[in-house]
């Protein structure tokens, strides 16, 4: 994950806020959860009862928090390392990722991490 801009505004958002993966699921890469004993207890009480659809924390959190608030997509931009010969795609990604000042707030790398691709 690479933070490009100030994300302090997230502290003003409601619990649970996250980026929509689709119409019903969220990606918890950048997620707002208010620390509380209630939330902790909810998560711990369900840990052995709920099976994650993804086998990991994303599926588990989506099973627990079925109602959530959307954060705009450019706050947690999901990015795969790409290999493409499509010039339009290259130009678009270069413009979005190389903008000065940044258009995106957070780049959330999925799969291969650029710091491991040396």
pLDDT at 83: 62
CA pair distance 25, 75, nearest whole angstrom: 16
Q: What is the C-alpha end-to-end distance of the chain, expressed in Å?
A: 17
pLDDT tens figures, 59-109: 999 999 999 999 887 777 766 656 667 788 778 777 777 777 777 888 877
Residue 5 pLDDT class (50, 70, 90 cuts): confident
pLDDT at 23: 87
pLDDT at 82: 60
CA pair distance 20, 104, nearest whole angstrom: 16
| Model confidence at 51: pLDDT above 80 | yes
| Model confidence at 115: pLDDT above 80 | no
CA pair distance 40, 38, nearest whole angstrom: 5
The three-class DSSP label of residue 22 is: coil
Nearest-5° angle of CA 31, CA 27, CA 85?
125
CA distances from 83 to 5, 97, 107, 117 (A): 26, 15, 18, 13
Average model confidence (pLDDT) across the chain: 84
Residue bearing the bigger pLDDT, 94 or 44: 44
Relative orientation angle of helices 57-64 and 37-46, to the nearest 10 degrees: 110
């Amino acid at each position: 994950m690479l933070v490009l801009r100030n994300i302090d505004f997230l502290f003003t958002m409601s619990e649970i806020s996250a980026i929509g993966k689709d119409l019903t699921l969220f990606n918890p890469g950048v997620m707002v959860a208010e620390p509380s004993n209630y939330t902790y207890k909810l998560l711990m009480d369900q840990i052995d009862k709920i099976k994650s659809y993804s086998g990991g924390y994303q599926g588990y959190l989506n099973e627990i928090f079925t109602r959530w608030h959307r954060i705009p997509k450019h706050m947690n931009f999901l990015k795969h390392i790409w290999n493409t010969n499509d010039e339009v795609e290259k130009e678009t990604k270069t413009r979005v990722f190389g903008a000065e000042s940044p258009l995106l707030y957070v780049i959330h790398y999925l799969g291969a991490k650029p710091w491991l691709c040396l």
